[in-house]
Structure 1
Amino acid sequence: MPSKMRSMRFISKKGLMLFAVILLTVLNASAQEIIKDTVPAKKSSNKRQKIDGVVATVGDYLILDSDIDKNFIELQSQGNSIKDITRCQMLGMLMEDRLYAHQAVQDSIIVTDSEINSIMDEKISAMLEQTGGTIDKLVKFYKKNSEEEFRTYFFDILRMGKLTSEMRKKIVEKVEVTPEEVRNFFKKIPQAELPTFGEEVEVSQIVINPVVSQEEKQKVIDKLNEFKKDIQEGGSSFFSKAVLYSQDPGSKSNGGYYKMNRKTPFIKEFKDVAFGLDEGQISAPFETPYGYHIIYIEKIRGQEVDLRHILLQPKITEESMRDAKEEITNIRKKILAGEISFADAARSSSDEKETKTNGGALINPRTLDTKFDLTKMDPSLYAQISDLKAGEISAPFEDEDQSGKKMYKIVMVTNKVPEHVADYSKDYLKIKDLALKEKQIKEIAKWTEEKIKETYIKINGEYRNCVFANNWLKK
């Protein structure tokens, strides 16, 4: 769920600088200002001054000299060294980003206004929270005359960034590697250059959720029905209710908004309700493993819906938490006494559906296998297993999920794999991923070469002397 907003009466100079860094950081390298085709002529002056001129054009997009400066600031804000990056190289990166965005428009890739507005609300909320500032100070810092003008500026930046990312996805979406290609990729790596994989662990867990009383459940149901009545009869805003009260961290800051279709990976209970509603309709309160929800259908576009929802979670009493801790403590005692294996205890007693059928085994969401790189593991999980040897079980500990729902857990390290040089049979999935990335890079390079030939591209002034990785000058 979203972090709590901090309110401050002032913003320091350091905070203002942070605005700039955050704005650049929340956008990817492609997120630079989109300039209209008509550029007002500068008034002549006897004084010499640096003009922020157009240095390149790619399709419908212009690149200013200041855009190059912005990208250098972005890289520095992310802790990257820029001493070996030339302005020519940076311009090449910006041109590539604009080529993606331009071609996305040509290919009719749809990026809706509602989608960008939702992203913008979330990004602005994050900037304001991290700097402790206000929207007026953000507008002033970026030298805009109004919040509307700033949002228009920000909208164009986010839209181009979204077009760029969607185009990249489209280029590589059908790229796959066969087992034979993976094998050939591995064979061609010289023995001395084989990658080294860090220490890995396999982990299983048992989760016990505290029992929620019927009384507490009814309280949130009544509250959601109250929200629904206020919106339908009292004219209240669903957006505002979600921002103020929803306990979903993924959507609270943007008014509970989600865009989804039937393939979107939401839980079944949620999708069943969402696709059973008409446009403009608000559901009755319903339960999922995350708590109780109401859904408002904002827009239906064929098989896709724009919706907003509010999530409330029943309160967990201290007594329920004590009972959950006692239950998991007794489970641990039985495992240690040899009365039952950890895997069998998980299958029979764990409240976590995703892992109980696998004997409690956790799946790494990055690799989709059971191994976790210790250097990339979630810090909260690392804290529980870092001192455990293979076969050892942690003491019971309290934890909570992303929605803030509390529970008790025990975890066991089922296997430890020491740091080692890549082995084809043991590390097949990692090697496959490397082979796939190499093939995707080649596909992007091929696509870029083709599109440069058929796209209007112009480079101005001294930048025509640059040596680019891509054939931007069409020589």
Structure 2
Amino acid sequence: MFFNRLVLIIYFIFSVCFSQGRVDGVAAIVGKNVILHSDVLQQAQFVAMDQQIDPSKNPYLFEKIYLSTLNNIINQYAVLDVAAKDTNIVVSNDEVDRALSQQIDDFIFKAGSEELFLEMAGMSMRQIRADYWQDIRDMMIVERFQYSKIQNVDVSRIEVLQFYNSFKDSIPSSPEKYSFSIIEIPFSASENSDTITINFLKELKGQIQSDVASFDSIAQIYSQDPGSAPTGGYLGFTPRGALVREYEEVAYSMDVGEISDPVKSEFGYHLIRLLDKQGEKISTQHILRATVFSDEDKAQIYKSVYDIYSQTAGNTSLFDSLSTVYSKKYKNSSGKYSDFPVSRIPGYIFTQLELLIFDELSQPIKVENGYLLVYFYKHQKEFVPDVDNSWDLIYKYAKQKKQNTFFSEWVNNIKTDIYINIFNN
């Protein structure tokens, strides 16, 4: 479903899925593409959530959203059917990779860290990229094709004023926004801290191998994986790529029944037992222990962050450069954010922004997984755009409306030449 499917990751992370009682099946066929009821329902639920509509309390309104969503998906596939045949529309694999990475980075920022994002998504990063790569590519093809059709559509000054007079009561206010940069450095364990965790897991492995206790009971007592610990650490059968790389590299090299030595991943250290292996699937159970950071570990990170504070206070270009470096290195909240809506800023970041004045760099701030610095650049209060204070924005809205009307008419024309079958079940 192009970009909307990727957006749904956030829907599943931050909201509860409403059930409408539909039995899954084919909603429509467009050319060679099959549209399932479940896919339409998921997108419709996201739209309802965005509009603060509860489907269980407003079933009639939700049905209208569902039908509108289905029509939009049909239009998307109709455009893709034509766009994919246009040899002038070229999207490279590198461009798709960058676009997907940008969307994932935005989601990581919303979640607070890559670890939290993956935990809430219930998918590995490799699986997310594999599942949504083609959707992003399709989205980019459609966007570029659409641009090629509407790029010469423009509006005159009279048309802008006519648009404003007709729609001024429905023009949305410009939301409150902040511009800022973040450097976040996570805690890292010293060799001594790692050794403590490794030795503890080796001791547990010894107890299991000497039949002092079973793997299941040890996992229930000591594993820090909240998802699998209650059931003895069982992960069931998982396809290759579903688990973190370090875990899989060891698990696929093991013999059935074997217990690994401690294996380090981004989540901590694992003891892995291979239960079964069937081609590209493995069945495992594990015991996870997160690394315990000592006071010395935390003090060392604080010193590193304070050194950055001392070197970059008053030097925004250096701070921004470092924030980009750390964003790529740690995949956390580090990075530069320009005109970022308040609604998308995590609470712990917004709290710091409210305490700062323009062009001020915060002192090191302790967060759950490390320390961060916030450089505050600009604040824009919410306002209602009009032709006096926001001519460029009103011009943009008027132009978009004219372009959308033009493109919608074009889509309706091409749909007559494409096989489309809508099922009313």
Compute the TM-score of the two structures, normalised by the length of structure 1.
Answer: 0.45
Higher helix share: 2
Compute the TM-score of the two structures, normalised by the length of structure 2.
Answer: 0.49
